[in-house]
Amino acid sequence: MTKIPPTSEPTTRPRVVVAASETTRQSKPDYRFTDQRIIQHFEVAAANSATIDQLLSNLATIVTHQSECLGLWACQRNGNGEFGSAHLLTDPDSASLWTAVEDHACEMMERVARTRQICSSPIRSTSRSELVVAPVCSEIEAEEQTPVHLVLIGCFSAEQESVLRLQWLLGLASQTIARWQQHRNLKHQETRIRSLTDTMGLIHSLDQTTSIPEASLVITNHLRRLCKSEQVAISFCDTKGNSRLAAISDVEQIDLSCESNKLISHANQQTLLTGHELCYPAGDTANSPALLALEKYCKANSVESCINLPLVTSDNRTIGAVLIAGCTEQTSDTDYRQYVGQLIKMSSGHLDVVVRANRGTRDVVRNSWKKLRSANLFRALLIGFVCLTALMFVPLPYRVTCECEVQPVMRRFVAAPHQGILEKTFVESGELIESDHVVAHLDGRQLRIELSGLRAEFDGARKRRDSALAQGDVALSQIAKSEMERLRSNMEILEQNLANLEIRSPIAGIVVSGDLEKVEGAPVEMGQTLFEIAPLNEMLAEIGIPESEIQYVQPGMQVAIKLNAFPFKTWQGVVEQIHPRTEIVDDESVFVAHVKLSNVDNQLRPGMKGSAKITTESAPVGWNLFHRSWESVRYWMIW
């Protein structure tokens, strides 16, 4: 590879090799370039570049400013050992130039990859244009004969620029890339050594623990110190992937009902679901559903950023997740994230061993079994246990016990037909009435007074019309006629209201609400609800099925209902409908189901309460007796 000086020392000159069939110009021995500013620009570009793409872009900017560059490309060797398509680093307007120089550039790339030296050649199709190709490889790679994986290709205008300087400029860019790659590799190795050292100390601390909570607290506190973070939390998962918060740095006891701890558990659960590292903020993907939990955690705890990593063992088992909260400067640093990732990866296996060692209960069960076998009652207990076990497998119908309340199948509302004064009510709440029964009467005195006044006005308007017709005043007669029409309409409305002073029930049933005796003489508005009446020939039992039992109940199952008012009578029915969402009844989350009941003898009244038993499918006796306890234990073990 061409030896390009990294500093401003003018003692080294570049070596240039070109094809024998091409017109080339070999650099003279006394040519030296000492442009210290250009070298400093390249060094600053390398220092300010976090990725190879950013470095190539910065170097392209410098080369373009320091020469008459017509186009600059980077070409990388693919997995098949061949150079792929060239990536344009300069102005997109230069894209068409690659078509003209592609064949020529491909020949020079193979030569450069073989000789590891800068090649240049004039372009035949244009005058005074030079094509320069430089390999990107370090001195160590050159000595070890490592294949060249990246080359820089530049097309320059050589009318006012020496070819040797163009070669030096592109060679300096390739040297900058090689040094940047060496520096990055060195930092990666340093990070790996540091993480290995810290992991050994962490493993040594884990060896001193005797319980899972102690081990969890040790690893969170060590990670907080090593990663210089604000908070570290760890969660373990079960075989189904559900996480359980185990420890938080600098916190002795964890309150799982705390909102902040719930956010941590939810964030760790998202990492277990995705199976890979999550980081917030994450640029364009910050609004993705998987990062919403991390975003809520950061906002709730006033944290700038956080990283969430899965705990994966060497056999690719995910045993939990770790949340590390810090500042944006840390999480955006690639080296920091690599260090944290290696630290978690190398300590996950040992943490799994500690957890499994402290979880075992085999020794306790084995010792209890030995003591039982040594007792004289072992045979009797064994026989009893076998009989009890056999009894537990006898199938019996499982019944779900629920609270219920009787309500009418439908309700009809009796409203005021028009505005007026409530003169008298004839029914009270709880009273049984027939269809078309008078329930209230409105005062019609004000309506009759208004009707008399309208009639007088109507007679006056008619006389004015007749007088105008007699005098031949057509306009005045038309006005009087319009007034008569208006008054006639108003009189018809008042007459209709007077005919509807009695308010009657539209159906037969019971008055559910509407005791208006105390408001007699008060005004009512048109459409105001006065009474609520429900039929009694059929009632509806609303059954509150507990949320934990809804999975066993289906529409069509038989229901037995007992009411508090009739403890020795049972009503039979069928589950007809189950509401699709829960409701809160007596501080309990239930699904409401409907069961229709016949009420021929009118014993059932709205509001009666009692209990109901729903007969579901048959299940073993043991399941009927203990499935609730088992589900409760399983629920708490998961969380």
Cβ neighbors of 413 (< 8 A, separation 6 or more) are 529, 531, 532, 533
Task: State the fold for domain 535-638.
Answer: Elongation Factor Tu (Ef-tu); domain 3 (2.40.30)
Residue count (the chain)? 639
Between these two residues, 34 and 36, which has the higher pLDDT value?
A: 36
Given this model, what pLDDT does residue 614 score? 92
For residue 614, with 0-12 CB atoms within 10 Å meaning exposed, 13-18 middle and 19 or more buried, which class applies? Answer: buried
Residue 80 · residue 191 · CB < 8 Å: no
Between these two residues, 424 and 103, which has the higher pLDDT value?
A: 103
Structure tokens at 188: 């990666």
Neighbouring-strand partners of residue 592: 544
Residue 585 has pLDDT above 50, yes or no: yes
Given this model, what pLDDT does residue 393 score? 87
Confidence at 56, pLDDT banded by 50, 70, 90: confident
Query: Looking at domain 36-186, which of 3.40.50.20, 3.30.450.40, 3.30.1440.10, 3.40.50.150 is its CATH number?
Result: 3.30.450.40
Residue 170 CA to residue 294 CA, distance in Å, equals 45
Residue 6 has pLDDT above 60, yes or no: no
Residue 567 has pLDDT above 80, yes or no: yes
The alpha carbons of the chain give a radius of gyration, in whole angstroms, of: 46
Tens of pLDDT, residue by residue over 233-287, are 888 876 666 778 888 888 877 877 788 888 888 888 888 888 888 888 875 444 5
Given this model, what pLDDT does residue 196 score? 67
List the domain boundaries for the chain: 36-186, 208-359, 361-392, 412-443+501-532, 445-496, 535-638
Question: How do 509-513 and 529-534 pair as beta strands?
Answer: antiparallel
Confidence at 20, pLDDT banded by 50, 70, 90: very low
Residue 572 has pLDDT above 70, yes or no: yes
Between these two residues, 618 and 345, which has the higher pLDDT value?
A: 618
Task: State the fold for domain 412-443+501-532.
Answer: OB fold (Dihydrolipoamide Acetyltransferase, E2P) (2.40.50)
Task: State the fold for domain 208-359.
Answer: Beta-Lactamase (3.30.450)
Domain pair 412-443+501-532 / 535-638, same fold: no
Structure tokens at 367: 């010792």
Given this model, what pLDDT does residue 8 score? 31
Given this model, what pLDDT does residue 555 score? 92
Write down the pTM of the prediction.
Answer: 0.38
Residue 137 CA to residue 118 CA, distance in Å, equals 12
Between these two residues, 442 and 29, which has the higher pLDDT value?
A: 442
Given this model, what pLDDT does residue 359 score? 59
Residue 409 CA to residue 405 CA, distance in Å, equals 12
Tens of pLDDT, residue by residue over 313-363, are 877 888 888 888 888 877 777 777 877 787 788 777 777 777 776 655 554
Confidence at 68, pLDDT banded by 50, 70, 90: confident
Count of C-beta atoms within a 10 Å radius of residue 90? 20
Given this model, what pLDDT does residue 365 score? 60
